[in-house]
Structure 1
Amino acid sequence: MPENSSCASAGSCNKSSCEDCPSKTNPKSFLEAPNAASHIKYVIGVMSGKGGVGKSFVTASLAVAMANQGYKVGIMDADITGPSIPKMFGVSGEVVGTEEGMIPLTSENGIKIMSVNLLMEDPEAPVIWRGPVVAGVVKQFWNETVWGDLDYLFVDMPPGTGDVPLTVFQSLPLSGTVIVTSPQDLVSMIVKKAYNMAITMNIPVLGVVENFSYLKCPDCGKKITLFGESKIDSIAGELGVAVLGKLPLDSANAAKADSGIFHTVNTDELSAAVDVLKGLTE
């Protein structure tokens, strides 16, 4: 153990001496204080065990669904190296800084957005930063952004269980997390990795959203399961979490994202997620 450790038994630490160690009985909190001008009721992390499952799509859809219910909503684009939220909502330009902090940009339907793409002169320039730098930016998005009064702040995290998800779990006062997955054979392992990380960090798992669940035939309306039959109900039941929605493959939604009008996307399939989010208590 390092000589400058605050542990009373530094240098002779063993199992028995650690039982009464102050660092165990009073563990250090890594929570970051929010910006003084921000008053946020619920912070919701959106995560996935792997990439390519449409996590940003689900994050944006949840934000639109709650905004449509009349709530004040924001999105923190914590996927620093692969930001896509601003383009989906047609938000562009550089964020302005004031004495209070950075002012997020606002979508056409009133969703406040903060993303690294809004801090760069060239939004197409790659973000080639190491993990600690990326994690530092996420903290800045929390404590240096003037979010104002929000009912829900959705945090779009990068896939996996690395530096940024860990930073979000430790630094932000999450009310819960939503896990995004897809109907593939690997879904069990993927969902369980994300679930176990959240539980290990003492973050409630609000439920699971399955993306790419089916394709609806434009002629007969039949649901076609391109990626195989859904397994999410049995997996969610095994873990004791709710299925918050099964989202279809829909070219119209993709076109809206590409055109920057994602605020008009259909969110009917997320009615269960809306009910769970509305049921949160401070």
Structure 2
Amino acid sequence: MSAPTSTVTDAVNAALATVNDPEIRRPITELGMVRSVVVGADGLVRVELLLTVAGCPLKDKLRGDITEAVTRVSGVSGVEIEFGVMSPEQRKALQEQLRGGSAGAEPVIPFAQPGSRTRVYAVASGKGGVGKSSVTVNLAAALAARGLSVGVIDADIYGHSVPRMLGAQGKPTRVEEMIMPPQAHGVKVISIGMFTAGNAAVVWRGPMLHRALQQFLADVYWGELDVLLLDLPPGTGDVAISLAQLLPNAEILVVTTPQAAAAEVAERAGAIALQTHQRLVGVVENMSWLELPTGERMEIFGSGGGATVAESLTRTVGAAVPLLGQIPLDTRVRETGDAGTPIVLADPTAAAAKALVGVADRLAVRRESLLGKPLGLRPAGR
């Protein structure tokens, strides 16, 4: 005897509630995407699903997830899915639901709000070529592998490279005034390269750079992030200044190489924290040495640059700026980055991967503020 249709329908709806939208990471039932569910007498389930936009790039992913979840329900003989598209009114309602306010309201930067629990790290360097982007994507992948919700903004507008190094092939999806960022290896990522044709150069000046960064922070739907990493352009130019204005709570992570010339420039990049009143979280020394087959270390770019920068910045800002790690020079860092799978995932046993994971572990430790929290203290009796 087959189960009553109403019982099967309830079970199917419960199964659909376990399916998350791949971009928003919330149940499709909660987002109003399931328009109807019909269970036939023969156990065939017909689901009508509303996509946020026509031609959704993750349509096949949704089809597979729904089919897998529903076919596990007892009494279901098959699944047919019909895709539709949300109306403008439905998209506005979704935008309002996700942002928690009126759809027509001016977007705000969630990470700059007093109640934000997202740790924001701006990865900076004094000069190009020190591996800042490689460090950024590997830290992001390592933090995501720990189970944290991580986002990356490729704020190096002129030299954007993060999507390739993270293997982010998708394009952002627009829902009304919101932008849904692509994901790779569990990391949400946005870059100006996702909005340009081919490998076109970006020729912008200060105001346009500021607006682009503002849009990446306010118009992109990031959800509840534990960590947001920003890959800054080298030096102390327009983007660094805009970041200080838009995200004054961002902490600066300085990347350098052991070379004295690179270290001197890195000190200047870190010292901007004095003017912007941002915290320096630490220094990462990249390309510290090359390990030879004999086990010896060849210090191709010299030695001591990272420690020198950390000590100098500690004196400059009057607070401890630690050397968080030294990353060995390894061709696999470049190879895995070009292939779109950071070395911390592709070869976690490599010395460079272990060093990068060590830095990520130190960044993952959150120092909770006691501001506004009850301490559970009672006055001592007399």
Same fold (TM over 0.5): yes
Please name the residue that 2:27 is paired with: none
Q: Distance between the aligned counterparts of 2:294 and 2:338, measured in 1?
A: 27
On the 8 A contact 2:125/2:255 being kept in 1, the answer is: yes
Please name the residue that 1:114 is paired with: 190
Indicate which of 231, 235, 253 corresponds to 2:333. Answer: 253
The 1:211–1:101 alpha-carbon spacing in structure 2 relative to 1, beyond 3 Å, is same
Indicate which of 303, 308, 317 corresponds to 1:229. Answer: 303
Q: Deviation per CA, 1:18-77, whole angstroms, max 9, x where unpaired?
A: xxxxxxxxxxxxxx93159x9661111110111111111111121122112211111000
Q: CA deviation at 1:276?
A: 3.9
Q: CA deviation at 1:81?
A: 1.1
Please name the residue that 1:153 is paired with: 228
1:211 aligns to what SS in structure 2?
strand
Q: Which runs of 5+ in 1 are unaligned?
A: 1-31
Q: Distance between the aligned counterparts of 1:80 and 1:40, measured in 2?
A: 27
Residue 185, structure 1, aligned to residue 260, structure 2: yes
Residue 71, structure 1, aligned to residue 132, structure 2: no
Q: Distance between the aligned counterparts of 1:144 and 1:70, measured in 2?
A: 25
1:102 aligns to what SS in structure 2?
strand
The 1:213–1:46 alpha-carbon spacing in structure 2 relative to 1, beyond 3 Å, is same
Please name the residue that 2:162 is paired with: 85
Please name the residue that 2:368 is paired with: 281
On the 8 A contact 2:157/2:192 being kept in 1, the answer is: yes
Q: CA-atom RMSD, angstroms? A: 2.1
What is the TM-score of this pair, normalised by structure 1?
0.81
Residue 244, structure 1, aligned to residue 324, structure 2: yes
Q: Deviation per CA, 1:80-138, whole angstroms, max 9, x where unpaired?
A: 1111000012112321111251000000x21000001112232x111112222122101
Percent identical among aligned pairs is 36
Stretches (4+) displaced over 3 A: none
1:215 aligns to what SS in structure 2?
strand
Letter of the 2:161 partner, please give it: S
Matches within 5 A, 1:125-140: 125-140=200-215
1:159 aligns to what SS in structure 2?
coil
Q: Which runs of 5+ in 2 are unaligned?
A: 1-106, 315-320, 370-382
The 1:265–1:48 alpha-carbon spacing in structure 2 relative to 1, beyond 3 Å, is farther
Q: CA deviation at 1:173?
A: 4.3
The 1:261–1:129 alpha-carbon spacing in structure 2 relative to 1, beyond 3 Å, is same
On the 8 A contact 2:127/2:262 being kept in 1, the answer is: no
Residue 212, structure 1, aligned to residue 287, structure 2: yes
Please name the residue that 2:130 is paired with: 53
Q: CA deviation at 1:272?
A: 4.2
2:118 aligns to what SS in structure 1?
strand
> Please, which moves more after superposition, 127-136 or 199-208?
127-136
Larger RCO, structures 1/2 (Cα 8 Å, 6+ apart): 1
1:206 aligns to what SS in structure 2?
strand
Q: Distance between the aligned counterparts of 1:198 and 1:68, measured in 2?
A: 30
Letter of the 2:188 partner, please give it: K
